[in-house]
Structure 1
Amino acid sequence: MDFAKLCGLGSTDSPTLLSFKTLLAACAEFAVKDLGELRFFLSIDVKRDDHGFCLSQQRYAEDRLDRAGMSNCKTTTTPIDAKGKLSADGDKVTDAASYQSLAGALQYLTITRQDLAFVVQQL
């Protein structure tokens, strides 16, 4: 068994999963705690239905908008030039650490919002 998979367990076969959790709990090297069904992990909301899983980062996105002081902004469609390149000759960012933090947060959002990937890559 791959050791990385021991961080979280999941199976469609409940008896096998229960047996494996019991085996791990009996081993003194592992601290095992059953947290129940996965609902929230690494700022990602997880909802399960008959067709699979639905992942959402809405709470994460709203928190990042609030931190950037943009929670009251209105949404709009903004076309982007796919062939254009940003110039390094423009105004410098006044707070580089804040810019890097926001750009990283946007990059993390591309896990569930692939439609943002191109624009975030441009930043």
Structure 2
Amino acid sequence: MDQPPGMKDPNYPNHVCKLQRALYGLKQAPRAWFNRLSMFLIDYGFFCSLADPSLFVMHTSTGVLVLLIYVDDMLLTGSSMALVQNFLQVLSKEFSMKDLGPLHHFLGIQIQSTDSGLQLNQTRYAYSILERAQMVDCQPMPTPLVQRHDAVTDPTPVADPTFFRGLVGSLQYLTLTRPDLSYSVNYISQFMHSPTLSHLKYVRRILRYLKGTIHFGLFFKKDTSLVLSAFSDADWAGCPTTRRSTTGYCTFLGCNIISWCAKKQHIAMRVLAPRPSIVPWLTPH
């Protein structure tokens, strides 16, 4: 680090300023804020989740508190309303905060609470993707991809690759509440480096499927068992070029799906037949 031009101190030319407080907008500000908040939560009794560093959980004799942080937005829930209100009072004394009430919208995800559970969807976000692609009035399709989609019928590069990558990136975020799009979005994401008109056609088909299923989402049922079950499948060397397999899985806690993925494997396995043994031919002399 050096002193900026025009602000150099002639008496201390090798000194630099020490940052006493991270200002909002600096690159180190989010890290400093997260460190400040996480230290307060840990001192209060929370522990950081090993699966997600932004998730904090606290177990007490009266119940459980769960806190999720995204920059300066927080989601707080607990096993009892009294426990939540007591922690909100402690949190408001330590930080300047505003309680927005029950959760209804968070990071583009709409949450609707019912007597039987939570309904999550991204209808507004999906509609914005259709508006960006100028396909609000398109005809819907029953499936996101055709059954056979290996051949590239039109290898012509797209005129605007940035537009293609923007649509695919938006669809990737949409899979947070749409497991039915995981495989199709994973497939088109493999052509981000050099998209063609055939790949753009696949994206438009996904958007047409999205038009007919724009209100789809996830429902987390409240009264369910805590039995953990998982399902997986693979297409067994489905890629004709690399002979790699695409693996998909989904995990359920009771009747609620909690994780899902569709991913192309990094390696390909070949099963070779054993080489026949060579027996020398002996001839009598």
Shorter-normalised TM-score: what interval? 0.7 to 0.9
Q: Distance in 2 between matches of 1:2 and 1:90?
A: 52
Which residue of 2 is the match for residue 48 of structure 1? 113
Q: Does 1:91 align with 2:150?
A: no
Q: Is there any run of 5+ residues in structure 2 with no aligned partner, and where?
A: 1-45, 49-53, 55-66, 189-285
Per-residue Cα deviation, 1:63-94 (whole angstroms, up to 9, x for no partner)? 11011110010102245236x4465x811121
Which residue of 2 is the match for residue 68 of structure 1? 133
Counterpart code for 1:44: I
Q: Is there any run of 5+ residues in structure 1 with no aligned partner, and where?
A: none
Q: Distance in 1 between matches of 2:84 and 2:141?
A: 47
Count of aligned pairs: 120
Q: Does 1:9 align with 2:89?
A: no
Displacement after TM superposition at 1:8 (Å): 1.9
Question: Structure 1's 17 and 11: CA in aligned 2 closer, same or farther, altered over 3 A?
Answer: same
Residues 7-16 or 65-74, more deviating: 7-16
Q: Distance in 2 between matches of 1:53 and 1:12?
A: 16
Counterpart code for 2:106: F
Which residue of 2 is the match for residue 122 of structure 1? 187
Q: Does 1:23 align with 2:109?
A: no
Q: Map of 1:77-88 to 2, 5 A cutoff? A: 77-78=142-143, 80-81=146-147, 84-85=149-150, 87=152
Counterpart code for 1:14: M
In the TM superposition, structure 1's runs of 4+ consecutive aligned residues that sit over 4 Å from their partners are: none
More strand by share: 2
Q: Does 1:109 align with 2:174?
A: yes
Q: Secondary structure at the match of 2:77?
A: coil
Displacement after TM superposition at 1:59 (Å): 0.9
Counterpart code for 1:23: V
Counterpart code for 1:102: L
Q: Do 1:86 and 1:122's aligned partners in 2 also have CA atoms closer than 8 Å? A: no
Q: Distance in 2 between matches of 1:10 and 1:90?
A: 51
More helix by share: 1
Q: Distance in 2 between matches of 1:69 and 1:86?
A: 26
Residues 70-79 or 98-107, more deviating: 70-79
Name the TM-score, length of structure 2 as normaliser. Answer: 0.39
Q: Do 1:46 and 1:54's aligned partners in 2 also have CA atoms closer than 8 Å? A: yes
Q: Distance in 2 between matches of 1:86 and 1:48?
A: 45
